[in-house]
Amino acid sequence: MKHIGTKEIHTERLLLRKIRMDDAQDMFEQWASDPRVTQYLTWPPHKSVEDTKQIIALWMKDLDEPQVYRWVMESKTLGKVIGTIDLVSVDSRHRCGTFGYCLSADHWNKGYASEALHAMLKYLFVEGDFHRIEATHLIENPASGRVMVKCGMKEEGVKRQKFLGHDENFHDLVIYGILKDEFLAR
Ligand X SMILES: CC(C)(COP(=O)(O)OP(=O)(O)OC[C@H]1O[C@@H](n2cnc3c(N)ncnc32)[C@H](O)[C@@H]1OP(=O)(O)O)[C@@H](O)C(=O)NCCC(=O)NCCS
- From CA 3, how far away is CA 58, in angstroms rounded? 21
CA 153-41-1 angle, 5° bins: 50
- Determine, following the binding rule CB under 6 A, whether residue 109 of this chain makes contact with ligand X: yes
For residues 19 to 38, the per-residue mask of contacts with ligand X, x marking binding by CB under 6 A and - elsewhere, is ------------------x-
Size of the site for ligand X (CB under 6 A): 21
- From CA 184, how far away is CA 177, in angstroms rounded? 14
- Determine, following the binding rule CB under 6 A, whether residue 114 of this chain makes contact with ligand X: yes
Least distance (Å) between residue 64 CB and ligand X: 26
Question: Among candidates 58, 62, 55, which has minimal Cα distance to 3?
Answer: 62
Shortest Cβ contact with ligand X: which residue?
113
- Determine, following the binding rule CB under 6 A, whether residue 175 of this chain makes contact with ligand X: no
- Binding ligand X (rule: CB under 6 A), the pick from 65, 142, 158, 160 is 142
- Determine, following the binding rule CB under 6 A, whether residue 173 of this chain makes contact with ligand X: no
Number of alpha carbons in the 13 Å side-chain half-sphere of residue 123: 24
